[in-house]
Amino acid sequence: MNTYKALVFFDLDGTLLDKNSMIPKENHQAILQLKKNNILPLVASGRSPKEIKQITKGTPIDSYVSLNGQFNVVKNEVVSKHAIPLNAIQKLMAFSKDLGHSLACYTEEEYATCYQNESMKKLYHLDHAPLPQISAHFHKEHEIYMLYLFSEEEAKDSLYQQEFTDTFTFFRDSPYSLAVVLNGQSKKSGIQQVIKGLGLSHVSTYAFGDGNNDLGMFEAVHTAIAMANASDYVKRHADFVTKSHMDDGICFGLKHFGLLN
């Protein structure tokens, strides 16, 4: 029987990770100490399961929300996944191409695009991740769980929201990109599905995040903690603002709430 005192969900980029997209030593030690304190550390990220497993290797994290709630895992077992219909992918692909915006398609292991653009290159450089493979047929041959749209033209975000209001939700998560998920799916729904899978709906929950795609995560937990490097908009939706992810903000926030000594 699980007897955890609390659950703590961590976003990765701009939150748990440093500028090199690695878990710094202090955060790694904090994760280990949380588990010793009978507090369960989890990840809630836009990254894929493969990336999450690589990043968290050497930690006790085995439950996570990935691809912004599209693919969710409890104790290394998939509890929910939400594939995007092919016709919806093709419609968005054509619409984005007309606007000169590239689109990447994500499975739980791989990602690919029909063509690259400069915004795409900037995003993957920022995340220290390899560029997507080029394939015109990848989305037809695999189950796709998340789409990534590459655009620096924020004024055009509303065009997508208006055109696909019945199908997709768009989260601008960087100056270069928008994560795209099915309506009704988000970090919020993913967290709810993971908590249900763990059988821990009675336990206190906390979340650390910095981006617009973390707002749903904030709604799903009892206590929302924004990083100092988050936008003012994100901070307004948090219960507490900790220090920057580059200034030991994770440990500072955990200690503030008595989760670490």
Q: Which residue has the tokens 């004024």?
A: 155
- How far is residue 106's CA from residue 46's CA, in Å, rounded to a whole number? 11
Q: What angle do CA 219, 64, 110 make, to 5 degrees?
A: 115
Token duo for residue 9: 């969900």
- How far is residue 88's CA from residue 67's CA, in Å, rounded to a whole number? 17
Token duo for residue 54: 């690589």
Listed in sequence order, the residues at least 6 apart from 189 whose beta carbon sits closer than 8 Å to its beta carbon are 69, 216, 220
Q: Are the C-beta atoms of 193 and 80 separated by less than 8 Å? A: yes
Residue type, 217: M
Residue 11 known to be catalytic: yes
Residue 63 phi, psi dihedral angles, 5° rounding: -130, 135
DSSP-derived letter for residue 226 is E
* Secondary element (H or E) of residue 196: helix 187-198
Residues labelled catalytic: 11
